[in-house]
Every structure is written in structure tokens, then in C-alpha cells.
Amino acid sequence: MATSALRELMRNDDRKVIKIPLDEIHHYAGNFYQDTNPEGFQRKAESIALNIEREGLIHPIEVMKDGQGEYTILSGNTRYKAVSLLFERGIGDGTIEALVHERMDEDAALYRVVSANIQREKTSEEVLMEISILGDEYEQLHKEHKITGRKDEYIAAKLGISQRTIRNYRKKDMEAKAKQASAMGQDAKPPRQPEKPRKRRKPRKLSRKAAVDQLHKHVEKLLPMTVRQLEIMEKQPIDPKVADHLGQLIHHYVEIHCILEKEKREENKNESLHDQ
């Protein structure tokens, strides 16, 4: 009773449900879903064939006109296979009930294919294709002011997954593409834009006295450090060349220190004479 009522409801749909010869129907080339398990597909078709033999085809397949007098399957590949199996065994009249859509463009056909396969088990690649196709659908509907909200929210509702899952799929896809590009010797990242040349800051002008003071502080800081390092090394085996180098370095520091001290004394003397 329920089965016949459902079939009657479908026949009253605005779209036409008709019987089409099996040999006038072909698979849609744009259907990206893969039968990764042919044996599983065959078993499922056999199971559906038994149900169809017992109760008839409850849900018609969906097809669209191909413009050449034949039809392309949008939804119902397994049901089509099941009816074909029955016909090969002498059961049925070689036709199948189908809900017929007028010929549509590639995008519209893909939307129908995705909608019909929401519940099936899918590979990561197939889910990424669904995300891309539904994203395009969202953009079109949003452009026509037929929908509001965010894109990922729309896709998540259609696929029955979370927005976080969608972001994870995209992230993994980007990582896989980057790895593949790296393996091929390509740069996965987009080329960097040339940086604008930075303006060089003009060096700050110092007075002679300030310059001497800075240099003097620097030497005073380095000299004790070098002496301490030499003292530590004298307690351990050391390369004579290294010891000689440190000795020369300390000698130069001492010379510079003396010169700076002399410069500082002369500078202070000149300032004193100027103040008098």
C-alpha cells in the first residue's frame, strides 16, 4: 500500500516519469564518483535486483535528455545495473522507470549528481569535488540573491558534515598538492611579490667627543673579556697559534685604550680652556 502510494506520488511530480529502454540510457561522463570496489558494487546490485523482482522499482532513476534522442543517468547507477541484471535473466521488459529532466548545462548536471550521492561512502578526492561543486552552486545562488549565510555553512548543511571538517579537507588537499609540487621540483607557494625598497636611515652624526666616548666604552668592555678568555685557556692545553693571536689582540686593545685615554684627556683640557 505504502509502496504504491509512493510510486503514485512520484508520478504526480511536475517532472515526467516514463519507461525508457535500457539500451537508450548511458552513464554520465561527468560523474566523478568511482566504483573503487567493483565486487561490492556487484553485490549491491544483486541485492537490489532481488528487491525489484519482489516489489518492483520503488524509486525511479533520474536521467536527462542528451540532445540526441537518448538519456544520461544522473542518479541511480546501481538501480540501472540491477534492472539490467534482471533483464539478462529474462525478467522484465528491458525498460526502466526514469524521472526525466530536460537537457541541462554541466554545472546543473553536477549539482544533481552530488545531491543524489550525499549518503554514499566516498573517497577524500570525491568529498573535495563535492565541496568545490557545492561552493560553485553557493556562489551562483548568492549572486542571484536566492541564499544568505556563509559558503561553508551552506556546504556543511548539504553534505551533513561540520564546517571544521570542510576546512580540514581543504588543508589536507593543500598539503598534498604542496608535497607533490615539491617532489616535482616546483615551488608550491605563489611567487612572492618583490618587496618595496626600504628607505635607509641616515646615520646619526656624532660629535668627535661622543664618538671617542663610544669607542672607549667598547674597548673597555672587550678588553677584560679577552683577558679572561686567555686566562682560562692558559690552564688548559692550547694551540700556540691561538695563544699568539690572543696576545696580539690584547696588545692592540691596550694600544687603542691608551690612545683613547690620551684623546679624552686632550678633549677635557680643551673644554677647560674654553670655559676659562
Integer Cα distance of 139 and 255 in angstroms: 77
Strand, helix or coil at 143?
helix
Query: What is the per-residue pLDDT for 211?
Result: 60
Query: What is the per-residue pLDDT for 74?
Result: 87
Query: What is the per-residue pLDDT for 119?
Result: 74
Collect the ranges in the chain with pLDDT lower than 70: 1-15, 34-36, 185-257, 271-276
Query: What is the per-residue pLDDT for 195?
Result: 60
Integer Cα distance of 74 and 84 in angstroms: 17
Q: Which one, of 28, 24, 126, lies nearest residue 77 by Cα?
A: 28
CB 72 within 8 A of CB 26: yes
pTM score, two decimals? 0.48
Q: Which run of H or E residues covers position 37?
A: none
Query: What is the per-residue pLDDT for 76?
Result: 85
**b/e map 185-219, b = 16+ CB within 10 Å:** eeeeeeeeeeeeeeeeeeeeeeeeeeebbeebeeb
- How many degrees, rounded to 5, is the angle at CA 105 between CA 144 and CA 152? 50
| pLDDT tens-digit series, residues 239-275 | 666 666 666 666 666 666 677 777 777 777 776 666 6
Q: Which run of H or E residues covers position 27?
A: strand 25-27
Q: 99 forms bridges with which residues in the sheet? A: 17, 62
Query: What is the per-residue pLDDT for 220?
Result: 63
